Amino acid sequence: MSNQTLNLDDRLYRYLVDHSVHEPEVLTALRHETAQHPMAQMQIAPEQGQFMALLVQLLGVKKALEVGVFTGYSALRVALALPPEGKLVACDVSEEYTAIARRYWEQAGVAHKIDLRIAPATETLDQLIQAGETNSFDFAFIDADKSSYPTYYEQVLQLVRPGGLIALDNVLWSGQVADPTVQDRRTNTLRALNDTIHNDDRVVASLVPIADGLTLAMKKP
């Protein structure tokens, strides 16, 4: 028994996945196709996808936002958890990666729920703010270029409704945030943002050590 978060070895991690994850076939197929991709590590882990889908259902999310789509695994998980009238606005810059995503969204029958915007996400988020969509999203997932995380966080905080949830991926950054010898720009940006959120009176937050670290920040009602 331990009252600290366990350090999962391969055997225990496999146990966790085998005894907890139910992954629809279309997601397994997408995960396998993405595993062949040179940037495969950008895809979220299956247990994280399942956890996010649970949050979406718990919150009764109807309107969701994603910053950073890649090949569409997390967007597909979220879209499958949305009700029939639910919508996901998904931001990415890559036509190439999202072409794979679109193929699987079609196959899963949820493409109509996903509004994919190909542009720098800061521009898309600004457009949503200008269009009066502030305080209207129930859930947002930020998983894109780490250097822009602070900007995405501030924009998304405007767009999420009071009581809505922001999830930020990779906040433990393979453990590098805790290693003082690592001083590159992305690691320092993540460190600074982790501290900002820790002291941010606008949210109630928790850093969850699932996969590469997932911060959950609820905008205060």
Provide the binding-site residues for Ca ion, judged by CB under 5 A.
Answer: 143, 169-170
Residues 6+ apart with CB under 8 A from 118: 92, 93, 94, 95, 98
The smaller minimum CB distance to Ca ion, of residues 25 and 96, is found at 96
Query: CA-CA distance, 190 to 113, in Å (whole number)?
Result: 31
Q: Are strands 87-92 and 63-67 parallel, antiparallel or unpaired?
A: parallel
Residues 6+ apart with CB under 8 A from 85: 62
Provide, rounded to whole angstroms, the least separation between the CB of residue 140 and Ca ion: 14
Say if CB 134 and CB 156 are below 8 A apart.
Answer: no
Provide, rounded to whole angstroms, the least separation between the CB of residue 65 and Ca ion: 16
Distances (CA, A) of 85 to 7, 60, 110, 129, 162: 40, 12, 11, 22, 21
The smaller minimum CB distance to Ca ion, of residues 71 and 124, is found at 71
Provide, rounded to whole angstroms, the least separation between the CB of residue 34 and Ca ion: 12
Query: CA-CA distance, 77 to 79, in Å (whole number)?
Result: 6
The smaller minimum CB distance to Ca ion, of residues 86 and 213, is found at 213
The smaller minimum CB distance to Ca ion, of residues 138 and 169, is found at 169
The smaller minimum CB distance to Ca ion, of residues 73 and 137, is found at 73
Query: CA-CA distance, 152 to 142, in Å (whole number)?
Result: 7
Provide, rounded to whole angstroms, the least separation between the CB of residue 206 and Ca ion: 18
Provide, rounded to whole angstroms, the least separation between the CB of residue 169 and Ca ion: 4
